[in-house]
Amino acid sequence: MQKLGDFKLPHFFNYPPYFTLQPVRETREKQVQLWKELILDYCRTQKIFVIGLEEEFPLFSNSVIERTLSHEAREAFLSALISEGRAEWLDKGHRRCLILWHRIQDWADIILNFVKDNGFEDSVMTVEEIRSGIESRGTELHGIDRTILMRALKLLEQKGKLAIFKGTSADDEGVKFSV
């Protein structure tokens, strides 16, 4: 099996027609399904949060069989993820796409567990600390995309689990947990 780093690629990745958007509806549905799973799997294992449609992305082409996904195909696969709440466009031009292998709600739950595990129920942390502090090392929160983290924090704020307060710059936004 072909590999990308330590990621095992599925068989269909080596089958040329999967790189062409299929015209027949049922065949296309199956094709889209396989690509959705592949994109989510890959992003989860490689900790990729944003895919740029016009940028190089290892899954968008396969040099072994000399096939590349067209822009239309890329957009179709990502749109399918979006319709399931597993991705979001970051811009109106559909050039950058946020990949949510955990939904925002799931990320919020992960944050809550992190808070409880570390006894931060009434503590104050900066957003940067959550992303790259010692406490989050080895957890899924380490290195999380800032946009996703802020969305999850805001969701928790709405539920009254924490309060976000602003510092003088974006770098020192803080969070006061009250779990």
Partner 1 sequence: MRRRPGIGGLQTAAAARDQYRLLGENVAKLRTDLMKEQLATFRSQLEEFARKHKNDIRKNPSFRSQFHEMCAKVGVDPLASNKGFWAELLGIGDFYYELGVQIVEICLATRPLNGGLIDLQELCKLLRQKRKHDREAVSEDDCLRAISKLKTLGSGFEVILAGKKKLVRSVPTELKKDHNEILELAYSTGYVTVDEVERRLTWTHGRAIDALDTLLDEGLAMIDDGHADGKHRYWFPCVSSISSFGADN
Which residues bind to partner 1, rule: CB under 8 A? 1-2, 11-12, 14-20, 22-24, 26-27, 30-31, 64, 66-68
CA distances from 49 to 4, 23, 71, 123 (A): 17, 30, 19, 28
Contact assessment for residue 97 and residue 78, using Cβ atoms and an 8 Å cutoff: yes
Question: Which are the contacts of 10, defined by CB distance < 8 A and separation ≥ 6?
Answer: 34, 38
Chain-centre distance of CA 66, in angstroms? 27
The distance of closest approach from Cβ of residue 29 to partner 1 in the complex, given in angstroms and rounded to an integer, is: 9
Chain-centre distance of CA 114, in angstroms? 19
The distance of closest approach from Cβ of residue 9 to partner 1 in the complex, given in angstroms and rounded to an integer, is: 8
The distance of closest approach from Cβ of residue 22 to partner 1 in the complex, given in angstroms and rounded to an integer, is: 6
Choice between 66 and 171, CB closer to partner 1: 66
d(CA 92, CA 110): 29
The distance of closest approach from Cβ of residue 118 to partner 1 in the complex, given in angstroms and rounded to an integer, is: 43
Closest CA to 162 of 134, 125, 135, 129: 125
Choice between 67 and 96, CB closer to partner 1: 67
Choice between 14 and 126, CB closer to partner 1: 14
Choice between 18 and 49, CB closer to partner 1: 18
The distance of closest approach from Cβ of residue 55 to partner 1 in the complex, given in angstroms and rounded to an integer, is: 19
Edge-to-edge strand ranges of the sheet holding 96-99: 50-52, 96-99, 87-89
Could you give the dihedral angle defined by the CA atoms of residues 164, 114, 138 and 56, in that order, rounded to the nearest 10 degrees?
A: -50
